[in-house]
Amino acid sequence: MPLQHPGTETHRLHRMNFITPLLRWRALGALVILTATCMAGCGGGSPASTTVDSNLIQPLGLSAERVAVGDRLFNEVALSAGGSQSCASCHVKSRGHADAAGVFLPLGGPALDRQGLRSSPSLHYMNDNAAFVLNAGPGPRGGFTWDGRADDRAAQALGPLLAANEMAQPDEAAVVRAVRSLPYYSELAVAYSLPADASDAQVLQATQLALQAYQAGDVDYQPYTSKFDAVQTGQASFTAQEQRGLALFNDPQRGNCASCHSSTPPPGEALPLFTNFGYFALGVPRNVSTATADPAFFDMGLCGPMRTDLSHRTDLCGMFKVPTLRNVALTAPYFHNGVMATLEEAVAFYATRDSDPARWYPTVGGVVQRFNDLPPAYRGNVTQQAPFGPATPGGPRLSPQDVQDIVSFLGTLTDGFTP
């Protein structure tokens, strides 16, 4: 494989020492570190090095140079209008590339004082996600963002660069000006063979592709180093509580979590991703800290208003993408609107949404406002699939102890476990 980058690559063989036969097919190539030279303006969190998963280079049409310059762009505050926000501000490496610690919903805009509508999802384990399809047999599938409106990560990257409450550039020309002024613009030009007189459209496209290449090819994004993975390869074993949690997670009559957060690998992968990239309306409670701005506003996911092409499909209102649960212990707050601060709460919501709705929704005039983050006309779209739905005789499908056990199991999905 053409992975030569003169003088800078190091083979990280130690990473392969614990890769067992099940995983070996993923590790046929070596991992390569590119050390990005710090030129003139090495501020703003420029990364020191980029580790490329070389298995991904060929199938995804990447190159090590593209991944490395994408890493720099991802961490580049000069790409924002206010000069102080990068992609990494909201997608924090130590948190599965999801929300920054203590952030309820992300702040952005030139002065970093405009609140976002949705929680920043983890960017990990997305290489098997494809463009959005409306009728994929079992229902809508795929796409990027909570409502799938971007077909790939290159298209998605333009969203935050131009969003008024994110990096807030006024237009594409302003993004291109910022990119051309970077001290390492030449790295982008070389990686994407841009001519000296590259057009704005070419520079913009190269920027988007580099950001995509980084997320697709950097080893941080799909490391498969959780305790769960170690157990699959015989390097570790679950505690009794984690084992109980996994059984509940998989049991169709109990947690039934795996029916949406798949615990079996997709075609072509050795290990599961804990999402099927499908869409469901869970009826999560309204996040009043954002809703107070406009009580008439509803974020309804697939049917809009952020996404505009399915506004006539009222049967899809309230549906959001099933997120991966890998690294979920690191990615609080939870659900698209960030309404749950802890993982315990998020799992307890599944257990008692229907048996104890007053715990989750406000009561007005003696009536519990179930599914209050959707207009009443669309509340019928909310799923009744287990673990929701009619309580089994004797109460909810999951007891408080079951919730604790599932949370304990979810903790095994955090990468960076050392057997």
The contact set with ligand HEC (CB under 6 A) reads: 74, 85, 87, 89-91, 106, 108, 116, 118, 120-121, 123, 144-147, 153, 156-157, 160-161, 166-167, 211, 255-257, 259-261, 280, 282, 284, 306, 320, 322-323, 325, 328, 331, 334-336, 343, 346-347, 350, 383, 385, 387, 406
Contact call for residues 73 and 43 (beta carbons, < 8 A)? no
Distance from C-alpha of 153 to C-alpha of 222, rounded to nearest angstrom: 15
CA 413 to chain centre: 14
Task: Give the residue from 5, 132, 130, 1 showing the smallest Cα distance to 61.
Answer: 1
Buried b (16+ CB within 10 A) or exposed e, 157-192: bbebbbbebbbbbeebeebbebbeebebbebbbebb
Least distance in Å: CB of 220 to ligand HEC?
14
CA 273 to chain centre: 12
Least distance in Å: CB of 289 to ligand HEC?
15
Least distance in Å: CB of 241 to ligand HEC?
14
Q: Which C-beta is closer to ligand HEC: that of 224 or that of 277?
A: 277
Give Cα separations from 220 to 93, 97, 350 (angstroms): 8, 9, 30
Give Cα separations from 285 to 6, 311, 333, 339 (angstroms): 54, 22, 13, 7
Distance from C-alpha of 112 to C-alpha of 316, rounded to nearest angstrom: 33
Q: Which C-beta is closer to ligand HEC: that of 153 or that of 227?
A: 153
Q: Which C-beta is closer to ligand HEC: that of 143 or that of 223?
A: 143
Q: Which C-beta is closer to ligand HEC: that of 29 or that of 139?
A: 139
Q: Which C-beta is closer to ligand HEC: that of 3 or that of 325?
A: 325
Least distance in Å: CB of 27 to ligand HEC?
25
Distance from C-alpha of 17 to C-alpha of 297, rounded to nearest angstrom: 53
Q: Which C-beta is closer to ligand HEC: that of 331 or that of 408?
A: 331
Least distance in Å: CB of 96 to ligand HEC?
9
Distance from C-alpha of 374 to C-alpha of 284, rounded to nearest angstrom: 9
Q: Which C-beta is closer to ligand HEC: that of 5 or that of 114?
A: 114
Least distance in Å: CB of 143 to ligand HEC?
7
Q: Which C-beta is closer to ligand HEC: that of 27 or that of 220?
A: 220
Distance from C-alpha of 183 to C-alpha of 175, rounded to nearest angstrom: 15
The letter for the amino acid at 88 is A
Distance from C-alpha of 349 to C-alpha of 356, rounded to nearest angstrom: 9
Q: Which C-beta is closer to ligand HEC: that of 163 or that of 270?
A: 163
Least distance in Å: CB of 54 to ligand HEC?
22
Give Cα separations from 68 to 65, 94, 208, 222, 348 (angstroms): 5, 19, 13, 16, 41
Distance from C-alpha of 287 to C-alpha of 168, rounded to nearest angstrom: 24
Least distance in Å: CB of 399 to ligand HEC?
12
Least distance in Å: CB of 217 to ligand HEC?
14
